[in-house]
Amino acid sequence: MALLIQQLIDRGQNISISDLGQPANAPLTVEIQTQLCVLGLLDPIIDGNETMPFWPVRLADGQLTLDTRNAIIAFHRHANLPYVDNLLTPEVLQALNTATPARFLPIQLDNQPADDQATRLAKRILRYMHFKGYWIARAPNMYNIVYVEGIDPDGRPNKDRFNEWNDRRMVIRIAPGGRPEMIVNDQATTEPGRFYTLNPLNRLGAARIAFGQYKAWVDGVHKGNQPALVQVGPVRLHRDRNKDGFRGTADPIDIGSVFGINQHSTGRDITPAFVDKFSAGCLVGRRYRWHLSFMHIIRQDFRYVMNKAYVFMTTVVNGDELMREEPV
């Protein structure tokens, strides 16, 4: 239970949402953000460095962002409480302070006899994300973008051969009541193709995104004409200096926001057999029409609907580790 929130409740005091932006109210804002984040409504603070993978490092920063405002609106909706413009009432604060994820927006992670293959795979991935400490969007109108390296559509591991479309692009949401749903499960690559591995755009070597959870992409255009998620935030890369097509201990780590590691596709009426020039290290869906469907789906995310500048989160998973922690 958050102390500063409880003090407002005890006094029967409203607080203006705008006042949360005052420096003196930063500790209260942190409490509110923390609770919204724990409930799966507000993205955490993501960071990493050369020695630490990117993942949620904090639940709150005390800054009254547009995303924080929108998460407050989302809480009202899911709590079935009236939203009084720019105001947090004692009733809302009480509901927020006592809400728990398991009751407010539950997730059914245990397999059930009636689960189909897609649901079981979605649960496996969510259980793995929970094990790793990754954040999960829990509201039904929010979506979790996940790439899994080296697995087939059914979630079984493959040989993850160099230059092949052997990774998966997935979108998972939590349906009302808590049942995970696999909305997208498409062929993709999280790795550069042969051409850019042998002819890297960077002197350190081709980009191979590190496994982890990132908040780094906005809705935009790839190479001037293709709808895509465009990199605007930092990501952690392995640079394939020896050009062997693997992440090796000798490969340098590179971190930056301007690498152009976009989430895009190949091209209209093209279903290439191999990755080749279609990826220099981006997260690439093989089939263009499926990519357009992916973009349509994620644009329905409440966070994006409320804020077209929303920075999307994406989790990149090692399929071998997924298999070890969550075997088929």
Return the pLDDT at 23: 97
Return the pLDDT at 56: 98
Q: Specify the 3-state DSSP secondary structure of 167.
A: strand
Q: CA-based Rg of the chain, rounded to a whole angstrom?
A: 21
317, amino acid identity: V
pTM: 0.97
Return the pLDDT at 250: 84
Reading the chain (328 residues) residue by residue, the pLDDT tens digits are: 689 999 999 999 999 999 999 999 999 999 999 999 999 999 999 999 999 999 999 999 999 999 999 999 999 999 999 998 899 999 999 999 999 999 999 999 999 999 999 999 999 999 999 999 999 999 999 999 999 999 999 999 999 999 999 999 999 999 999 999 999 999 999 999 999 999 999 999 999 999 999 999 999 999 999 999 999 999 999 999 999 999 888 899 999 999 999 999 999 989 999 999 999 999 999 999 999 999 999 999 999 999 999 999 999 999 999 999 999 8
Return the pLDDT at 286: 98
Return the pLDDT at 249: 82
Cα–Cα distance between 224 and 237 in angstroms, integer? 24
List CB contacts of 114: < 8 A, sequence separation 6 or more.
none
Cα–Cα distance between 272 and 105 in angstroms, integer? 41
List CB contacts of 58: < 8 A, sequence separation 6 or more.
44, 45
Return the pLDDT at 151: 98
Q: Helix 3-11 to helix 26-38 angle, to the nearest 10 degrees?
A: 110
Return the pLDDT at 178: 98
> Beta strands 283-285 and 263-265: pairing type?
parallel
> Beta strands 263-265 and 253-256: pairing type?
unpaired
Domain residue ranges of the chain, discontinuous segments joined by +:
3-104, 117-325
SS3 content of the chain, % helix, strand, coil (to 5): 30, 25, 45
List CB contacts of 113: < 8 A, sequence separation 6 or more.
none
List CB contacts of 279: < 8 A, sequence separation 6 or more.
189, 191, 192, 193, 196
Cα–Cα distance between 264 and 285 in angstroms, integer? 6
List CB contacts of 283: < 8 A, sequence separation 6 or more.
147, 169, 188, 189, 190, 209, 261, 262, 263, 264, 314, 316
CB count in 10 Å sphere of residue 276: 15
- Residue tagged 């080296």 (tokens): 150
236: phi then psi, degrees, rounded to nearest 5: -105, 125
